[in-house]
């Protein structure tokens, strides 16, 4: 009987050891399976189909770009739209934890300061080969992908009804805007928030020199009703008859004209131009998709679509100018020092902001 009990105990002990071994093996198998799932998740994340873009562009630009890029690549694009200054400020504020992959639109002066602050990643698209050097950042951070020139816009109906009877001639030069007849009838954009607003201020400083340039801006300020946050905003206000005249990008004015608004675009002598930029945001979650986006912007079909949809000038020599727009070679440009414009931007914006402190930016 003792022998039977001893054997029974030994058998139970053996079975317990076997069970422990099996359970231990199952535990190891479960851990390996979990690790495999984690690796798979990481792989999916690295091939994300998303792209987050901060855009200093118009709503109409965002609409066609978003749709066409998805059609061409299958990638989903989330756009957040700002003025160029606000977009740059957002990138700067999120430097420690970026929430976007690309900044697009707005003049490259706004990108230069982001480069200095370490907010952008280097990338030179293979599609940039053969482009004029002015469209490529010499340090490899931003890429120019369109051009635009500054112009004046005025409402023909209100002008002919209210100013023409007073002997005021249609505006043809920047200096014409100093006429006291435009007091509180003129709107323009804020250099602190809008690329067009800053380039206009820089234009006057390059055109007239520092002292006379600031004198001009101060006198013009007396006629300004208010400064808008975006460069395109004055067009809407003038087109709908709320104001008689304004300053904006000529291509945006032309787009509004084609919609039938009673407005006219004037590109004065000694005007300035922008090179619209695009760049990778350092630390963005989808860098591969961001590079695809910049490559895509530089293709001829997209350059042609941008011209047709926005009336902007293409950076490609084999893309014709926008229909109805003045040829770029016929525009009499100011001697615009882009490097200096970037270097002096912070000081100019501060001085301008102090000067217009009594004006409400709306």
Q: Which string of DSSP letters, residue by residue, matches 270-333?
A: TB-EEEEEEEEETT-S-HHHHHHHHHHHTSHHHHHHHHHHH-PBPSSTTSPPPTTSPPGGG--B
d(C-alpha 339, C-alpha 332), whole Å: 20
Q: What is the number of residues in the chain?
A: 362
Element (H, E) at 160: none
- Radius of gyration of the CA atoms of the chain, in A: 29
Q: Is 130 helix (H, G, I), strand (E, B) or coil?
A: coil
| DSSP code at position 162 | I
Name the residue with tokens 């931007």.
Answer: 345
Rounded to a whole number, what is the distance in angstroms from the first to the last CA of the chain?
Answer: 101
Among 235, 241, 247, smallest CA distance to 310 is for 235
pLDDT per residue as tens, the chain (362 positions): 433 334 333 433 444 433 433 333 333 333 233 323 333 223 333 468 999 999 999 999 999 999 999 999 999 999 999 989 999 999 999 999 999 999 999 999 999 989 999 999 999 999 999 999 999 999 999 999 999 999 999 999 999 999 999 999 999 999 999 999 999 999 999 999 999 999 999 999 999 999 999 999 999 999 999 999 999 999 999 999 999 999 999 999 999 999 999 999 999 999 999 999 999 999 999 999 999 999 999 999 999 999 999 999 999 999 999 998 988 889 999 999 999 999 999 999 999 999 998 765 55
Query: Taking the complete model, does pTM exceed 0.75, yes or no?
Result: yes
Domains of the chain in start order, with CATH, are: 50-147+274-325 (3.40.190.10), 149-271+344-355 (3.40.190.10)
Q: Is 335 helix (H, G, I), strand (E, B) or coil?
A: coil
Phi, psi of 278 (to 5 degrees): -155, 145
d(C-alpha 271, C-alpha 206), whole Å: 10
């Amino acid at each position: 009987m003792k022998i039977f009990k001893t054997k029974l105990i030994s058998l139970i002990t053996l079975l317990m050891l076997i069970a422990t071994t099996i359970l231990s093996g199952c535990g190891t198998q479960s851990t390996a399976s979990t690790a495999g799932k984690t690796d798979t998740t990481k792989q999916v994340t690295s091939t994300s189909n998303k792209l987050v873009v901060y855009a200093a562009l118009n709503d109409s630009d965002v609409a066609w770009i978003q749709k066409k890029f998805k059609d061409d690549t299958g990638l989903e694009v989330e756009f957040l739209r700002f003025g160029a200054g606000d977009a740059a400020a957002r990138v700067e504020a999120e430097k420690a934890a970026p929430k976007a992959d690309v900044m697009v639109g707005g003049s490259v002066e706004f990108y230069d300061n982001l480069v200095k602050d370490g907010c952008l990643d280097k990338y030179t698209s293979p599609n940039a080969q053969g482009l004029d050097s002015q469209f490529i950042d010499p340090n490899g951070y931003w890429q120019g992908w369109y051009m635009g020139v500054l112009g004046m816009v005025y409402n023909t109906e209100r002008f002919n009804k209210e100013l023409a009877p007073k002997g005021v001639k249609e505006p043809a030069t920047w200096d014409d805007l100093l006429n006291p007849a435009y007091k509180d009838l003129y709107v323009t954009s804020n250099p602190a928030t809008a690329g067009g607003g800053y380039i206009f201020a820089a234009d006057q400083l390059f055109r007239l020199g520092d002292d006379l340039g600031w004198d001009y801006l101060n006198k013009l300020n007396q006629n300004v009703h208010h400064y808008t946050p975006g460069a395109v905003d004055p067009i809407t206000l003038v087109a709908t008859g709320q104001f008689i005249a304004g300053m904006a990008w000529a291509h945006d004015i032309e787009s509004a004209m084609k919609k039938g608004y009673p407005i006219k675009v004037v590109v004065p002598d000694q005007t300035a131009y922008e090179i619209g930029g695009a760049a990778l945001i350092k630390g963005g979650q989808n860098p591969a998709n961001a590079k695809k986006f910049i490559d895509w912007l530089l293709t001829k079909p997209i350059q042609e679509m941008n011209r047709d949809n926005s009336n902007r000038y293409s950076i490609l020599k084999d893309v014709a100018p926008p229909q109805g727009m003045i040829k770029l070679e016929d525009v009499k440009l100011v001697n615009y020092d882009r490097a200096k414009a970037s270097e002096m931007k912070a000081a100019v914006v501060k001085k301008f902001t102090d000067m217009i402190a009594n004006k409400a930016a709306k």
